[in-house]
Amino acid sequence: MGRAIGIDLGTTNSCMAVSDGSEIIVISSGEGPRVMPSVVAFTSKGERLVGLVAKRQAITNPRNTISSIKRLMGRKYEEVEQERQNVAYEIKPNEKGDASVRVFDRLYTPPEISAIILQRLKARAEEYLGEEVTDAVVTVPAYFNEVQREATKAAGRIAGFEVKRVLNEPTAASLGFMEPTERKNIAVFDLGGGTFDISILQLVNGIFEVKATSGNTHLGGDDFDQRIVEWILGEFRRDNDMDLSEDPVALQRVREAAERAKCELSSTLEARINLPFIASDEEGPKHLELSITRGLLESLIEDLVELTRLPCEDALREAEKTPDDIDHVILVGGSTRVPLVRKQVEEIFQQRPAHNVNPDEVVAIGAAVEASVLTGQRKDLVLLDVTPLSLGVETLGGVMAPILEKNSPIPAKKSRMFTTAVDNQQVVNVHVLQGERELVEGNRSLGRFELVGIPPARRGVPRIEVSFEIDANGILNVSAMDAVTGRAQGMKVNPSGGLTEEEINELIREAAANAEEDRNRMKLVEARNAADQVIYDAEKVLETARKELEKESWQELETAATSLRECRDSEDRIRIAKETSRTSSLVSQTSKLLDIVHSGSVEQQDDDEVYVLEEDTEEQEQ
């Protein structure tokens, strides 16, 4: 059996580490730095370049140099419009509609490109260790959905790894930062090239427990770079009346200059951008010479940095912590070197973040720690992670009933009892959902299955137990069982249901932005459900009343029930509530009248019998 390593498969750079006894060693990329650019290039000669050498030739070969492939993982072509605009290479759909990259005359899927990066890391690790490397723990953003996690696993398998676990990056960072003997509350602020995550963890006696996680899987350093690119293009267009975005080579030079300027401004107050011979016209060659200050950069990206605040506040609230409760704030990802980002972190958590952590390496170190735990080398710590979004099923009226709440510790299993909606219902449709909205239409459908063979009974009588079970790798199994017959049915569901990065963030943002609308819609649903119950009760009472009472005794109830049925599907909640109240009152009155009739008929029957007996006696005496 070969060795196991930890890999941080990053948007911009990748890093790997290995456990060597009690020590974690970061393995050099073999190109000088200990991190390797997550870049793959294909040349006209059929060569395949990876890492720094691929990045260096990007200016002369922009169409066939692939970077930031992580932002395409597990996503459909129609979902990546922004990425298509911001990269030089060509993004096309494959036969399944997945976003893929066209290189010469072939389409490569994101897992294939990622596998090439992982293969290079594997080869370097085996060269460094002098033995075969077979297993790996690979990290992903905490808000990666299951499709993206499975795509990452597939990339590992293509590269020749057995992926022992897909580990959340903030969680890995905490493993790489803390000693298991400590007792601390930790906040991990992870802002990389393409994603942002925030996790609140609690460490007690070797148990790392994730209390809450939040984030934005469509926010990172690439977005900072793009703002600088747009500014550069705008300045050049204003001065020269030329659009550099139409020239792939010039645009790639601008992108690289923007990234360099961003990095320089983390340590200096001003950066120069000099790109000679960037374009030409009838007047001759054009040169690009600009100066960008840290203040200008901060004005360009201020709104992007502000997007990190709400997820941090949400994570603190979900974890039931305040900034005063946090003992350490760990910064992860190269974009946390931006001074404005660090200032934002200090404002949110009211303390300076830890500075004894290398943000480019700590995730890989934590992944190596987890690899040592999974392979039995270490037994002094336990990791308890959480599921990022709520999971539940659809109920009557289009309402989602949560079963596994957001930030539930995993692995986990939870059940909830449901019943039927109509009389003699023998089949129930279990619709599995994910999201934070109360109404089904605001959440993501993960799948459906049917439970058949339920014994006929009145609505509300059957008992159907729906169970959700999610394992440590985030795989969800859903089952439904009829409590009477024991009949069961189930399905395996991706816990994030194939949600795109943007869709997951939209679910959370929409839940907050549309809270008032949701409450009003919930009231409408509740009014309709109440109306359904009153209509059902009215029909039952009318069945008896039509047989035992005069028409004038039940006609008003029948008219009211008909009126309620007609307005039940309207959007006027007040009208539905009024009609429901009126019909309910008539149901009660008619029901009481029936009780009196039943009681009275018995008494009348007794009186008649007495009367007859008395009459017979008189006749006999006569």
- Does the active-site annotation cover 607? no
Tell me how many degrees the CA angle 406-193-327 measures, rounded to the nearest 5: 55
CA distance 35 to 427: 56
Give the contacts of 20 (CB within 8 A, at least 6 positions apart).
none
* C-alpha distance from residue 163 to each of 118, 296, 297, 534 (Å): 11, 43, 40, 56
| Residue of 8, 98, 394, 438 with catalytic role | 8
- Give the count of beta carbons closer than 10 Å to the beta carbon of residue 385: 22
Place of tokens 């911001």: 86
Determine contact, residues 318/211, Cβ cutoff 8 Å. Answer: yes
| Residue of 169, 225, 314, 501 with catalytic role | 169
Give 76's DSSP letter.
B
Helix axes 294-306, 221-240, angle to 10 degrees: 130
* C-alpha distance from residue 152 to each of 73, 149, 158, 159, 448 (Å): 8, 5, 10, 11, 26
Cβ-in-10-Å burial (0-12, 13-18, 19+) of 404 comes to: buried
* C-alpha distance from residue 40 to each of 7, 16, 103, 361, 429 (Å): 17, 17, 11, 21, 46
Cβ-in-10-Å burial (0-12, 13-18, 19+) of 246 comes to: exposed
Three-state SS string over 487-536 comes to: CEEEEEECCCCCCCHHHHHHHHHHHHHCHHHHHHHHHHHHHHHHHHHHHH
Tokens in use for 508? 């959370």
- Does the active-site annotation cover 314? no
Secondary structure element (H or E) that encloses residue 47, with its range: none
Determine contact, residues 12/144, Cβ cutoff 8 Å. Answer: no
CA distance 70 to 412: 29
* C-alpha distance from residue 188 to each of 207, 227, 321 (Å): 16, 26, 14
- Does the active-site annotation cover 190? yes
- Does the active-site annotation cover 540? no
CA distance 326 to 315: 12
| Residue of 83, 98, 146, 190 with catalytic role | 190
Find residue 102's DSSP bridge partners: 90, 107
Q: Which residues are catalytic?
A: 8, 70, 169, 190
